[in-house]
Amino acid sequence: MSHKLSQKNSLTKEHTQNYRQYFALNRNAAGFTIKKKELIYTLISDKSDGAFIWDIDNNKYIDLTMGFGSILFGHNYRPIRKEIENQLTKSWSVGPISSLAGILAEKITIATKTERVAFFNSGTEAIMVALRIAKAATKKNRIVFFKGAYHGTFDSLLTLKSDQETKIAKESIPGITQNILNESYFFEYGSDESLEFIKNNKDEIAAVLVEPVQSRNPSFQPIDFLKELRKITAQSDIALIFDEVITGFRIDIGGCQKKFDIQADIVTYGKVIGGGLPIGIVAGKSKFLDAIDGGFWQYGDESIPKAKATFVAGTFCHHPLAMATSLKTLEILNSTKGELLIEINMRTTNFCARMNAFFKEKFPKLSIVHFGSLFRFVTPGKYKELYHHLLLNGVYIWEGRNCFFSAAHSDDIIVLLEDKIKLSCNQLLENGIIKT
Ligand code: PMP
């Protein structure tokens, strides 16, 4: 199998090797073991269309990575492409603010039932700012976050452990010091213990950060916990931050806030709303967003920015191309009144049900879990070899293993995908990698 894949991806491997010395890319060493060495590389691709990508060996794959969930309409979607081309004829410069930014801000407040919006370049930046404005507005300095969540690469959120007694985050990775973690409390997601702790330590907690449905564990949807968390944080002057970088504009136009009928104080978005271009959005209540600019005031009277502002900035924030593609994305979503998302979600639900029925009968240790159009294979032990077989059979799933359907994943393509998954499972058996 390793040999067959090496042959299939020979140009990808050659390219990777030629540039490894110059190009430091963690994905090129992800999951490294001596035994697997020949299979450790990331696909290199310069071409994509609809639900497909092609690698530089010109192999075609059904793409389940879909730009890590940033591509909702399909690759090279013509209306988005046209929008980029149209904007290019006007300007792609930063400096003055694009006239599209204010318009997009207003439209996002309407779509997400928030009061104010600020634009950045990535989900990580949005998270960093969300925490900063929560601390600024509450004048407190601790944050609570949860095991299993992924919030990007901001230092104080990079841990997998907390101290048993103090619940302070600890033992991170090289370069993340304990000092940086000392402001973070880290709990089991959905635990009663966390709720008790938040109540008892409200005077020092500025924010509770949740990924309402964690992309790494999408079948766990703790609505009652979230509702209780909303109640406690509201009573305690603690900012409830929903990280909707994946779920926003995907599970529903209004994200998990709408789906679960819970209004957070601050919400972060990214991925889908950018239409494939880099974006990070902080949205939420004026009480918190006012820490960015001092709040509302107007010309011609005595009004002034009243809130004490912190500092945020970024060369490429409000990039005109990203503003244009985001506006177009929202326009398309609004034009279908959310029906498009319902359809993609439904297709995913049906696909998962069919695959799970197949697994139950023939491969009971395998399953698929999903939330809306995000899904993950559950692959214990040797079953992880499934991903290499899928690659060999023309299905691309990135190293983090989150999979996404887009509007371009039509019923026909899904049927083809199901055949490829079944074939890959059978090969696992035939090749003696698994027993049942
Ligand atoms: N939050 C969540 C829930 C995410 O899934 C991600 C990225 N996958 C981020 C934040 C960070 O976003 P970015 O990669 O754009 O920095």
Q: What is the CATH number of the domain that holds 408?
A: 3.90.1150.10
On whether residue 269 sits in a domain, the answer given is: yes
CA–CA gap between residue 266 and residue 283 (Å, rounded):
6
Task: Read off the tokens for 232.
Answer: 């406690």
In ligand 1, which atom is closest to the CA atom of 270?
15
DSSP state of 412: H
CA dihedral 199, 200, 203, 205 (to 10 degrees): -60
The percentage of residues in the chain with a pLDDT greater than 90, rounded to a whole number, is: 97
Express each pLDDT in 315-372 by its tens digit: 999 999 999 999 999 999 999 989 999 999 999 999 999 999 999 999 999 999 999 9
Strands of 32-111 (E only): list them: 45-49, 52-55, 60-63
Express each pLDDT in 71-118 by its tens digit: 999 999 999 999 999 999 999 999 999 999 999 999 999 999 999 999
Task: Return the pLDDT at 171.
Answer: 83
Residue 55 and residue 26 share a domain: yes
On whether residue 121 sits in a domain, the answer given is: yes
DSSP state of 97: P
**What is the pTM (predicted TM-score) of this model?**
0.97
Per-residue confidence band for 18, with pLDDT thresholds at 50, 70 and 90:
very high
Q: Is pLDDT of 179 > 90?
A: yes
Q: Which of 312, 335, 358 is the last residue of a domain?
A: 335
Task: Return the pLDDT at 156.
Answer: 94
Task: Return the pLDDT at 2.
Answer: 81
Q: Atom 5 of ligand 1 has which residue's CA nearest to it?
A: 246
Residue 265 and residue 384 share a domain: no
For 205, the domain range is: 78-335
Q: Is pLDDT of 1 > 80?
A: no
Residue 176 and residue 273 share a domain: yes
Q: What is the domain count for the chain? A: 2
Mean pLDDT in the chain? Answer: 97
Which residues approach ligand 1 with their CB closer than 6 A? 68, 122-124, 127, 150-152, 211, 215, 243, 245-246, 270
Q: Do residues 16 and 41 make contact, with C-beta atoms less than 8 angstroms apart?
A: yes
On whether residue 175 sits in a domain, the answer given is: yes
Q: Which of 305, 335, 365 is the last residue of a domain?
A: 335
Residue 317 and residue 245 share a domain: yes
Name the residue of 26, 246, 272 whose CB sits within 8 Å of the most ligand 1 atoms, as the mutation to test its pocket: 246
Q: Is pLDDT of 63 > 80?
A: yes
Residue 287 and residue 168 share a domain: yes
Residue 351 and residue 331 share a domain: no
Residue 356 and residue 277 share a domain: no
CA–CA gap between residue 299 and residue 294 (Å, rounded):
15
Express each pLDDT in 138-159 by its tens digit: 999 999 999 999 999 999 999 9
For 393, phi then psi, to 5°, come to -90, 10
Q: Is pLDDT of 436 > 90?
A: no
Q: What is the secondary structure of 145-196 as a DSSP string?
A: EETT----S-GGG--SEE-TTT-BEE---TT--HHHHTTEEEE-TT-HHHHH
Ligand 1 geometric centre to CA of 216 (Å):
12
Residue 258 and residue 367 share a domain: no
